[in-house]
Amino acid sequence: MSASAAQAAAADGFDTLPLAPHILANLASLGYARMTPIQAASLPAALLGKDLIAQAKTGSGKTAAFALALLANLNPRRFAVQSLVLCPTRELADQVSTEIRRLARAEENIKLVTLCGGIALRGQTASLGHGAHIVVGTPGRILDHLERGNLDLSALNTLVLDEADRMLDMGFAEDIAQVARQCPAQRQTLLFSATYPDGIAQLARQFMREPQQITVQAQHEAGKIEQRWYEVTENERLHAVSRLLAHFRPESTLAFCNTKQQCRDLVQVLTSQGYSAMALFGELEQRERDQVLVQFANRSCSVLVATDVAARGLDIAQLAAVINVDVSPDPEVHIHRIGRTGRGDAQGLALSLAAMDEMGSVGKIEQLQGRESDWHPLAELVPASQEPLLPPMVTLQIAGGRKEKIRAGDVLGALTGEAGFAKEQVGKININDFSTYVAVDRAIAQEAVRRLSSGRVKGKSVKVRLLDAM
Give the ranges where 389-462 is alpha helix by DSSP (H).
Answer: 408-416, 445-454
Q: What domain range is 249 assigned to?
A: 225-380
- Distance CA(5)–CA(11), nearest Å, equals 10
Q: Are 32 and 102 in the same domain?
A: yes
CATH of the domain at 457: 3.30.70.330
List, in order, residues 6 or more apart from 22 with CB less than 8 Å away.
106, 107
**The total number of structural domains that make up the chain:** 3
Q: Are 187 and 236 in the same domain?
A: no
Let me know if residue 386 belongs to a domain: no
Which residue, 259, 272, 247, 284, is CA-closest to 382?
247
Q: Are 361 and 437 in the same domain?
A: no
Let me know if residue 388 belongs to a domain: no
CATH of the domain at 105: 3.40.50.300
Q: Are 231 and 266 in the same domain?
A: yes
* b/e code 99-109 from CB counts within 10 Å (16+ = b): bbbbbbebeee
Let me know if residue 387 belongs to a domain: no
Give the ranges where 86-226 is alpha helix by DSSP (H).
Answer: 90-103, 121-129, 139-147, 164-169, 173-181, 198-207
Q: Give the DSSP per-residue string, 340-380.
A: TSS-TT--EEEEEEE-GGGHHHHHHHHHHHTS---EE-GGG
Residue 466 vs residues 133, 434, 442: alpha-carbon distances, Å: 39, 16, 11
What pTM does this model have? 0.64
CB atoms under 10 Å from CB of 169, counted, come to 17
Residue 321: beta bridge partners? Answer: 253, 349
For every one of its 470 residues, what pLDDT tens digit does the chain have, with 9 covering 90 and above?
A: 333 333 333 457 898 999 989 899 999 888 887 888 889 999 999 999 999 999 876 667 889 999 999 999 999 989 899 999 999 888 889 889 989 998 998 887 899 999 998 788 888 999 898 889 999 999 999 999 999 999 999 999 999 999 998 888 778 888 999 999 999 999 999 999 887 777 888 888 888 999 999 887 655 555 688 999 999 999 999 999 999 999 999 999 999 999 999 999 999 999 999 999 999 887 777 778 888 988 998 999 999 999 887 676 566 767 899 999 999 998 888 988 888 888 766 789 999 999 999 999 999 999 988 889 999 999 999 999 988 899 999 999 999 888 888 888 888 888 988 888 988 999 988 888 788 999 999 999 999 999 888 888 877 888 999 987 65
Let me know if residue 220 belongs to a domain: no
Q: Are 339 and 408 in the same domain?
A: no
Let me know if residue 421 belongs to a domain: yes
Let me know if residue 112 belongs to a domain: yes
Q: Are 181 and 244 in the same domain?
A: no
Q: Are 234 and 284 in the same domain?
A: yes
